[in-house]
Amino acid sequence: MEQTQSLRQAIDNGQTVWAAGVYDALSAKIAQAAGFSAVMTSGFAVSASYLGLPDVELYTMSENLNVIHNVANAVTIAVIADADTGYGNAINVMRTTREFEKAGAAAMIFEDQEAPKRCPAVADAVAILPKDEGVAKIRAAVQARQNPATLIIARTDAFNEEEAILRAQAYAEAGADLIQPISKCFKDIHGLRRLRQACGKPLSLQILGWLETDLSQDEIQSVAGLAVFPLVALMTMHKAMLENMRQLHQTHSTQQLPHAVTSMKDFKSFIGFDEITALQNRFLIAQQDFSALKK
């Protein structure tokens, strides 16, 4: 796919690709309309939007795959898939890689937690796989991809900096294209630079916590091939919709909503009614024309 090759080329050329975290086709279309050249399907956001539940790997591979498929069909930019633990061992990872690729993913993030995973952004501790097993899963993903341009991103959920560096080096040697640490591991840009130098691969950073508040754009770009704001879309939706729904419930009126809403005209244009109408006019035979054809 063109998007896959473009993403690979940008990162291989030393650029930093800035991406928005999304959770469904509509949020992906909005991110593209806002100007992003890539989106990432955040597992945290998918679990919240798809199931209304926390990110503890409750959704299945096929449910996540359905989200990837819909997102990839809705946009013309690169889609980065949060593939969680790969949904099993190295053999499962191989199928996950092939299926996600077919669904339209230009890149996949595999983490080295034991399944079922726990979100490190909210958990005080997580159980991670032995390093050799984590390496085997990355090797399996690299071998299984059908398009050599597809990016395999190895995420280590180690909380200890030295352990994270050792794993990053091993995953890079196994063929990972980018390395992703968790935000709770490294504490400053110096740690991220050590990681970047040690593994010899660009980093994939989820801009959360201290990375969001303490790092400048230039600092992020000095180490990252991929920089993602994973939860801005989800949290924006939650706050704005909750406040509007509360006001609507209290007043039974749309006249004083806290947040302005898109007009029906603008949303119909955004979501593609004009294109559908044009296709209907071109391909659907009006009833009177159909009756004439029968004579």
Taking every pair of Cα atoms in the chain, the longest distance, rounded to a whole number of angstroms, is 81
CA distance 126 to 130: 13
Q: How many whole angstroms separate alpha carbon 79 and alpha carbon 186?
A: 27
Q: What is the DSSP letter of 252?
A: S
Query: CB count, 10 Å around CB of 161?
Result: 15
Phi, psi values for residue 206, rounded to 5°: -90, 115
Q: Which of 262, 278, 259, 260 is nearest to 270 (CA)?
A: 262
Rg value, the chain, Cα: 21
Neighbours of 210 (CB within 10 A): 14
Question: Taking the mean position of all CA atoms in its chain, how far away is CA 277?
Answer: 32
CB 45 within 8 A of CB 230: yes
For the CA atoms of 30, 36, 38, 44, the dihedral, rounded to the nearest 10 degrees, stands at: -50
User: For residue 99, which phi and psi values (nearest 5 degrees)?
Assistant: -70, -40
β-strand pairing of 178-181 with 151-156: parallel
Residue carrying the six token digits 């691969």:
201
The closest of 67, 15, 43 to 157, measured between CA atoms, is 43
Q: Pick the catalytic residue from 1, 119, 123, 240.
A: 119
Copy the structure tokens of residue 89. Answer: 């061992």
Active site residue 119: yes
3-class DSSP state of 40: strand
> Looking at the annotation, which residues are catalytic?
119
